[in-house]
């Protein structure tokens, strides 16, 4: 789920806080075929299935690795008497396979910001999964200009030792650099700073009790040249100063980094703090798995994350669910896309749509967050949404909308005239924070969302046939 601009949102940020480059209206493409054919069968009467073709090599040599958590699809005799789409039978979708993919993306690889080495590693993993499932797979790079947090914090001790930590610029901080000796000021309240010599110093504070804005105001009044706020729980975080703008650099660091720096407070160590958002050119990439020469049906999910956390729910969960659907539903004309650079503005889907012919596309199902069930929604094309919601009667999902200025990769396909929806498990206050880790995902929620996704894809394939 994109967030513009970086740095990452503070704890408690709302779902899908993003500013996409387009504000799509709903394109009500004709879907009479889906409505009329809900009862049609997707398999031939004799039960035959299509024989998978050998996958073509990927465009990057590193993408040839196949993860151990997938199996090659079974082969069978092709039935050429029908033109309706038919999934190649392997077995039923398995939630434990979804969890295995999620663990690889969010725990093993971790945070996957657009253009990063970790995003490239995730693309390689995804390509291997799709190849093992029998898809012709390519990794398709594209350039993005993005804003990244370029903040730095370095310490030079009296003994000449140099220490560097990775801070994040607070929203509302001055884009500036400052240096001085470091003073520890506890929680940053007036009573904490009373009696301290803060004038001209870098003030190290702990997160908690007071708002970031209040801490910063107290620091400025005391004469601090910069504020560093250490987390009160494991991992990094992002934050903002509320309605105020600081006149000095204000950055956040992890609890572990705070514990490293605290013994240096009150010593002769010199601390330099730079709060900055830089614009950089980077290479992101889409991973595309194709079954057949023409893409008629699409499933997709973005696999990048924000820098602040490993993005387990947002959106390793949606990507992992999509990969399991791809394994069990390989169908002539089905194309599977893992989008890069979604969090910074839907760049992956925009690049794909700009460089590919969508004239044969019948639908696009996008999965954005599937790991924490809370008012699950289908959002997008009204006619397609109605068909899917009808097929999901009895399951905890409804038609809905994103908040203002919110969207996902389905919007790019809608703008191109393709009936498209995003299926999401709902709100999650942990997204875009360090707390969106593997522990933020529920197996039960994933199992429910996998059932919803399976029925949705079967329904869409049946109607499109």
User: Domain for residue 140, yes or no?
Assistant: yes
Residues 120 and 163 in one domain: no
User: Domain for residue 379, yes or no?
Assistant: yes
For 241-298, the DSSP string reads -TT---SS-EEEE-HHHHHHHGGGTTSS-EEEEE--EEEEEEEEEEEEEESSSS--EE
Of 198, 139, 148, nearest to 338 (Cα)? 139
pLDDT band at 212 (very low <50, low <70, confident <90, very high): very high
Over residues 345-351, mean pLDDT: 96
Q: Is the pLDDT of residue 385 over 60?
A: yes
Q: Is the pLDDT of residue 417 over 80?
A: yes
Please give the tally of structural domains in the chain. 2
> What tens digit of pLDDT does each residue of 396-415 get?
999 999 887 778 999 999 99
Q: What's the pLDDT score for residue 457? A: 96
Of 388, 422, 378, 436, nearest to 20 (Cα)? 422
Q: Is the pLDDT of residue 347 over 80?
A: yes
Cα–Cα distance measured from residue 176 to residue 63, given in angstroms and rounded to the nearest whole number: 41
Residues 39 and 141 in one domain: yes
Residues 287 and 361 in one domain: yes
User: Domain for residue 8, yes or no?
Assistant: no
Residues 293 and 407 in one domain: yes
| Domain closes at, from 275, 309, 327 | 275
Cα–Cα distance measured from residue 354 to residue 131, given in angstroms and rounded to the nearest whole number: 25
Between the alpha carbon of residue 352 and those of residues 46, 88, 119, 348, 358, the distances in Å are 38, 26, 17, 6, 10
Highest mean pLDDT among 138-147, 216-225, 273-282: 216-225
User: Domain for residue 25, yes or no?
Assistant: no
Percent of the chain residues past pLDDT 70, beyond the cut: 80
Over residues 184-198, mean pLDDT: 95
User: Domain for residue 185, yes or no?
Assistant: yes
Average pLDDT over the chain reads: 83
Percent of the chain residues past pLDDT 90, beyond the cut: 70
Residues 82 and 204 in one domain: no
> What tens digit of pLDDT does each residue of 303-336 get?
999 988 899 999 999 999 999 999 999 999 999 9
| Domain closes at, from 226, 252, 275 | 275
pLDDT band at 272 (very low <50, low <70, confident <90, very high): very high
Residues 301 and 397 in one domain: yes
Q: What's the pLDDT score for residue 221? A: 95
Q: Is the pLDDT of residue 110 over 70?
A: yes
What percent of the residues of the chain are helix, what percent strand, and what percent coil, each to the nearest 5? 30, 25, 50
Residues 172 and 118 in one domain: no
Threshold 0.85, pTM exceeds: no
Q: Is the pLDDT of residue 181 over 50?
A: yes
Lowest mean pLDDT among 40-44, 120-124, 285-289: 40-44
Instruction: State the CATH number of the domain containing residue 378.
Output: 3.40.630.10
Q: Which residues pair with 208 in a beta bridge?
A: 210
Q: What's the pLDDT score for residue 238? A: 83
Residues 296 and 410 in one domain: yes
Instruction: State the CATH number of the domain containing residue 224.
Output: 3.50.30.30
pLDDT band at 136 (very low <50, low <70, confident <90, very high): very high
Residues 6+ apart with CB under 8 A from 463: 31, 33, 34, 35, 36, 37, 38, 40, 387
Of 372, 368, 369, 343, nearest to 440 (Cα)? 372
| Domain closes at, from 246, 275, 304 | 275
User: Domain for residue 222, yes or no?
Assistant: yes
Residues 134 and 157 in one domain: no
User: Domain for residue 5, yes or no?
Assistant: no
Residues 447 and 370 in one domain: yes
Q: 234 is in which domain, residue-wise?
A: 151-275
> What tens digit of pLDDT does each residue of 24-34 get?
333 333 343 33
Residues 167 and 256 in one domain: yes
User: Domain for residue 75, yes or no?
Assistant: yes
Residues 176 and 63 in one domain: no
| Whether the Cβ atoms of residue 442 and residue 371 lie closer than 8 Å to each other | yes
pLDDT band at 90 (very low <50, low <70, confident <90, very high): low
Lowest mean pLDDT among 222-226, 413-417, 427-431: 427-431
pLDDT band at 182 (very low <50, low <70, confident <90, very high): very high
Q: What's the pLDDT score for residue 93? A: 94
> What tens digit of pLDDT does each residue of 146-173 get?
777 889 999 999 888 999 999 999 999 9
């Amino acid at each position: 789920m994109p967030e513009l601009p970086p740095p990452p949102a503070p704890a408690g940020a709302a779902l899908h806080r993003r500013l996409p480059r387009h504000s799509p209206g709903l394109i009500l493409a004709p879907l009479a075929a889906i409505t009329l054919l809900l009862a049609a069968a997707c398999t031939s009467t004799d039960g035959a299935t299509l024989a998978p073709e050998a996958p073509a090599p990927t465009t990057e040599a590193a993408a040839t690795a196949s993860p151990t958590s997938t199996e090659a699809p079974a082969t069978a005799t092709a039935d050429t008497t029908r033109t309706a789409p038919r999934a190649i039978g392997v077995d039923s979708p398995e939630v434990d396979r979804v969890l295995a993919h999620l663990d690889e993306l969010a725990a093993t690889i971790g945070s996957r910001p657009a253009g990063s080495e970790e995003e490239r590693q995730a693309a390689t993993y995804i390509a291997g999964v799709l190849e093992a499932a029998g898809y012709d797979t390519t990794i398709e790079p594209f350039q993005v200009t993005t804003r990244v947090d370029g903040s730095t914090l370095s310490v030079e001790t009296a003994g000449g030792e140099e220490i560097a930590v990775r801070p994040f610029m607070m929203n509302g901080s001055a884009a500036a650099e400052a240096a001085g000796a470091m003073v520890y000021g506890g929680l940053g309240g007036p009573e904490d700073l009373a009696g301290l010599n803060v004038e001209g110093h870098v003030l190290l504070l702990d997160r908690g009790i007071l708002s970031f804005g209040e801490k910063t105001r107290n620091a400025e009044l005391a004469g601090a040249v910069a504020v560093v706020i250490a987390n009160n729980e494991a991992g990094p975080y992002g934050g903002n100063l509320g309605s105020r703008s600081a006149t000095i650099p204000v950055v956040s660091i992890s609890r572990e980094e705070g514990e490293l720096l605290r013994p240096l407070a009150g010593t002769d160590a010199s601390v330099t703090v730079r709060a900055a958002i830089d614009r950089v050119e980077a290479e992101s990439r889409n991973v595309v798995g194709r079954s057949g020469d023409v893409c008629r049906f699409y499933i997709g999910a973005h696999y990048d994350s924000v820098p602040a956390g490993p993005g387990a729910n947002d959106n390793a969960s949606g990507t992992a669910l999509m990969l399991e659907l791809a394994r069990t539903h390989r169908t002539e004309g089905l194309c599977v896309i893992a989008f890069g650079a979604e969090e910074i503005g839907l760049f992956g889907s925009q690049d794909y749509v700009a460089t590919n012919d969508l004239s044969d596309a019948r639908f696009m199902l996008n999965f954005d967050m599937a790991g924490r069930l809370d008012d699950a929604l289908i959002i997008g094309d009204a006619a397609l949404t109605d068909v899917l919601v009808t097929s999901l009667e009895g399951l905890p999902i409804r038609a809905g909308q994103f908040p203002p200025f919110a969207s996902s990769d389905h919007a790019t396909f809608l703008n191109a005239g393709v009936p498209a929806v995003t299926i999401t498990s709902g709100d999650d206050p942990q997204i875009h924070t360090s707390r969106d880790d593997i522990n933020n995902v529920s197996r039960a929620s994933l199992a429910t969302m996998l059932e919803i996704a399976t029925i949705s894809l079967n329904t869409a394939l049946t109607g499109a046939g």
